[in-house]
Every structure is written in C-alpha cells, then in structure tokens.
Amino acid sequence: MAQLEIQGLQSSLFFETPEEIYTRVFRELKPRTIPPELRVEFCRFANADSFIRLKDGRLEIRISDLLAAAPAPVLEALAHILLGKLYRKPIAPMYVHRYRLYLNRRDVRRQAHLVKQIRGRKFISGPKGEHFDLEEIFESLNAAYFDGLLGRPQLGWSRGSSRSMLGHFDPSHNAIIISRIFDKKTAPALALEYVMYHEMLHLRFPVDHTGARRRVHTREFREAEKKFPQLKAAKELLKKL
Ligand SMILES: [Zn+2]
C-alpha cells in the first residue's frame, strides 16, 4: 500500500524542480501568503542535515547532497519537515516517516557513512589521559567480558568535560570517545568502566535499521548490559558526577 501511494505521487511530481516542490508545499502550509522567492541548493555536508532560513525576504534551503538523487516524494517530505519547522506548523507523520524510511535504506546509509568518513574531520586524542588510560580500561573489559575478541577501535577523550555526552561510539571513524569529565583523580573508576563497557557494546551490537526505525539499544544490547557487575552502583555514581 505505502509503495503504491509513493509511486502514484512520484509520477505526479516527476516534472517539478526542487524549487517548485518547495513553492507548492509552501502554498499548502500557508494558503493565504504569496510564496517568497526561494532557492534550493545541494551542499557537500558531512552528514544528511538540511537547513532552511528566511533571509531578506528570500527562503534559502540548503540540502545535503546525499539527497540530490532522492526521489521527488522524499524531497517533498523534507520540504514539509523544513517549512513546517520554520513556520511552526504541525508536520504530518507520513512525511516524517517517508523521509526516515529513505535515510534508513541500506544504500543511503552506506553512502552517508562514506561521506562522513571522508568529509567529517574528527579530532581524536590519544587514549592516555592524565589519570586514566582508556586503552588499559578497554583491554581489561575486553578480556573480562568479550573473551578478548573485540577489535580495539580508536580511543580518545572528548575536548570538553561534557555531562550530557559521557561517551559515544562513532562507527564512521571507528572510535570510542569518553568525556573528559572522567579524567580526574576524584572520578569514580567504576563509572568510567561502565561508560566504556556501554560503548563497547555498541561496537559489538550494531544499530538495527528496520523500516523507518533506528534502534540503537536493541534487546541483545540491553541483555548484555545487565552482565556488567555493579551496574546499579555505576549508574548511581553517574547521577552524582
Ligand atoms: Zn548507548
């Protein structure tokens, strides 16, 4: 059904330029306003982000060139999302779903991954901090819970001492980055070990892309996480950071 609907749309949108798509969606959202002059540009971003702004009465839309080959219904969905956000109009879930479904396609994800690898520069400090060595922590957890079989990614400390992002695994750069907040004498080693263990599980269990969904913490992931001893104590420590 969804397939049929999209095909039907595609034929009717086939001859529209991106500017025409945005103008048509604008009219739908704001029927009493004359659409402003607008320009759509595909840019070489490092990710699939897109931007819209109103400048000097003109709408400027900058879309990741990852979407340059996207079918018209996908560009139309993105137009609804961007214009809806700009003018604070409710965005129909079908457009969000259609757009996500496209980004979740295996070929699109692979392309996005490559682009991020090539264009996205990343600063990765070494594993040695002032008080902790991430390599030692990684390898002791690797031996204890992964039979030593997990390939070691790049390991680094974040630049700032972020509380909101305690750690993350970046698959495009095959890197685990740990917040600098843990690199001090008073930081509880257990909390740091737990954050590293969590990120190692991301290395072990890939993200599940089914349909338009993107499941980062899958059921296997959560089961494996429970194997960390003193999980509760570690989480309590994180709250007090
Ligand atoms: Zn996670």
Q: Does residue 1 have a pLDDT over 50?
A: no
Nearest to 29 by CA among 98, 80, 76: 80
Over the stretch 159-209, which tens digit does the pLDDT of each residue have?
888 888 999 999 888 999 999 999 999 999 999 999 999 999 999 998 999
Whether the Cβ atoms of residue 61 and residue 38 lie closer than 8 Å to each other: yes
Q: For residue 50, give the H/E element and its range.
A: strand 50-55
Give the tens place of pLDDT for each residue, 79-92.
Answer: 999 999 999 999 99
Q: How far is the CA of 133 from the centre of ligand 1 (A)?
A: 21
Percent of the chain predicted with pLDDT > 90? 76
Strand partners of residue 59: 38, 54
Ligand 1 centroid, distance to 207 Cα (angstroms): 10
Residue 202 Cα to ligand 1 midpoint, Å, equals 7
Q: Please give the distance, rounded to the nearest whole angstrom, from the Cα atom of residue 56 to the centre of ligand 1.
A: 42
Residue 194 Cα to ligand 1 midpoint, Å, equals 11
Alpha-carbon dihedral sign for residues 151, 155, 161, 162:
negative
Question: What is the predicted pLDDT for the residue at 2?
Answer: 40
**Regarding beta strands 50-55 and 58-64, do their DSSP bridges make them parallel or antiparallel, or are they unpaired?**
antiparallel
pLDDT above 90 for 226: yes
- 3-state class percentages of the chain: helix first, strand second, coil last, to nearest 5: 45, 15, 35
**d(CA 215, ligand 1 centre) in Å:** 10
For residue range 22-74, list pLDDT tens digits in order.
999 999 999 999 999 999 999 999 888 999 999 999 999 999 999 998 999 99
- Whether pTM > 0.85 for this model: the answer is no
Q: Which residue is associated with the tokens 């960390």? A: 228
- Number of Cβ within a 10 Å radius of residue 87: 13
Return the structure tokens found at 69.
């080959």
129 Cα–ligand 1 center, Å? 22
Residue 191, token pair as written in the block:
């909390």
**DSSP SS3 for 209:** strand
Residue 46 CA, ligand 1 centroid: distance in Å: 22
Rounded to the nearest angstrom, the distance between the alpha carbon of 198 and the centre of ligand 1 is: 6
Give the whole-angstrom CA distance, residue 58 versus residue 35: 9
* Ligand 1: centre distance to CA 158 (Å): 16
Q: Encode burial over 110-132: b for 16+ CB neighbours within 10 A, e otherwise.
A: eebeebbeeeeeeebbebebeeb
CA distance 106 to 168: 22
Q: Residues 205, 211, 216, CA angle at the centre, nearest 5°?
A: 25
* CA 160 / ligand 1 centre spacing (Å): 19
User: Got the DSSP string for 80-110?
Assistant: HHHHHHHTT-PPPHHHHHHHHHHHTSHHHHH
Rounded Cα gap, residues 202 and 23, in angstroms: 42
Q: How far is the CA of 204 from the centre of ligand 1 (A)?
A: 12
The pLDDT of residue 14: 59
* Ligand 1: centre distance to CA 220 (Å): 13
**Residue 9 CA to its chain's centroid (Å):** 28
Q: What is the CA(3)–ligand 1 centre distance, in A?
A: 33
Q: How far is the CA of 181 from the centre of ligand 1 (A)?
A: 18
- pLDDT of 151-162, one tens digit each? 999 999 998 888
CA of 217 to the centre of ligand 1 (A): 6
CB 167 within 8 A of CB 138: no
Q: State the distance from the centre of ligand 1 to the C-alpha of 212, rounded, in angstroms.
A: 19
